[in-house]
Amino acid sequence: MLGDKKTKVKITFLVILVGISSMLAAVVTDHWAVLSPRVEKLNTTCEAAHFGLWRLCKKSIFIVEEDPQGNSCGPISLPGVKNCSYFKHFTSGEEAEVFEVKTQKEYNISAAAIAIFSLAFMTLGSMCLLGAFGKGRDYLLRPAGMFFAFAGLCIVISVEVMRQSVKRMIDSDETIWIEYYYSWSFTCACAAFILLFLSGISLLIISMPHMPRNPWETCMDAEPEPMD
């Protein structure tokens, strides 16, 4: 691998590491969205919630001050009694809560499965990219780029599924929440999509054949790149 190309690959690899870290943070945390009921009066207890791919956390908050930004319950950082429960993705409807069956279960199964595919693509891409640093293994850059691009696409699909999940919860008569906003885990997933997808495209561009120096040359006629 030429020195200039190796430098570009190393820079891209650093960006990929940031993207992988962002994706892992999004997958293992449960702050994709924060849900809140409307609070009509002070000195009362309300129940806010935040959730991710795997679990929902409900928090009972005692409201003593009016929210300057509206009548929602929160912010979620206020002290209160917190109760977290994992989504029963693989249980029957009779054993799961009404909330999970009617508003959340199907969407979260899809989003979690797609996120797992993304992690698999990231793993394969990382293996190919690390192997590309070996002597005479530039050909591994192309599959690495494809794997990271696929990982980014899986992430953005998972994000969209979660958006639809939030919309369905807000519109459902089975839930008390009528207000919501997306939190930092959702931001991490969006950042991971941008970083991994663009890095995958960059690796594909870097792996393209050496361009001819003169206009009358063809790519096949151009001199091959020297090997390390």
3-state secondary structure of 214: coil
pLDDT for the residue 41:
67
The whole-number average pLDDT for the span 131-157 is 89
Question: Terminal CA-to-CA distance of the chain, rounded, Å?
Answer: 6
3-state secondary structure of 48: strand
pLDDT for the residue 51:
82
pLDDT band, residue 19 (cuts 50/70/90): very high
Do 80 and 58 form a contact (C-beta atoms < 8 A)? no
Comparing C-alpha atoms, which of 81, 111, 108 is closest to residue 96? Answer: 108
The Cβ-side half-sphere exposure at 103, using a 13 Å CA radius, reads 18
Q: Point out which residues pair with 48 in neighbouring strands.
A: 59
Do 193 and 152 form a contact (C-beta atoms < 8 A)? yes
Phi and psi at 38, nearest 5°, equal: -85, 135
pLDDT band, residue 68 (cuts 50/70/90): low
pLDDT over threshold 80, residue 143: yes
The whole-number average pLDDT for the span 127-145 is 86
Output 152 or 75, whichever has higher pLDDT.
152
pLDDT for the residue 92:
47
Q: Calculate ∠ Cα 96-98-104, nearest 5°.
A: 85
pLDDT band, residue 105 (cuts 50/70/90): low
Q: Residues 153-198: pLDDT tens digits?
A: 999 999 998 888 888 877 776 666 777 888 899 999 999 999 999 9
pLDDT for the residue 171:
76
pLDDT for the residue 88:
63
Rounded to two decimals, what is the model's pTM? 0.77
- How far apart (Å, rounded) are the C-alpha atoms in residues 82 and 102? 23
Comparing C-alpha atoms, which of 100, 41, 103, 118 is closest to residue 73? Answer: 41
**How much of the chain is helix, strand and coil, in % rounded to 5?**
50, 15, 35
Domains of the chain: 1-86+101-207 (1.20.140.150)
Q: Residues 38-60: pLDDT tens digits?
A: 776 666 777 788 888 888 888 88
pLDDT for the residue 216:
54
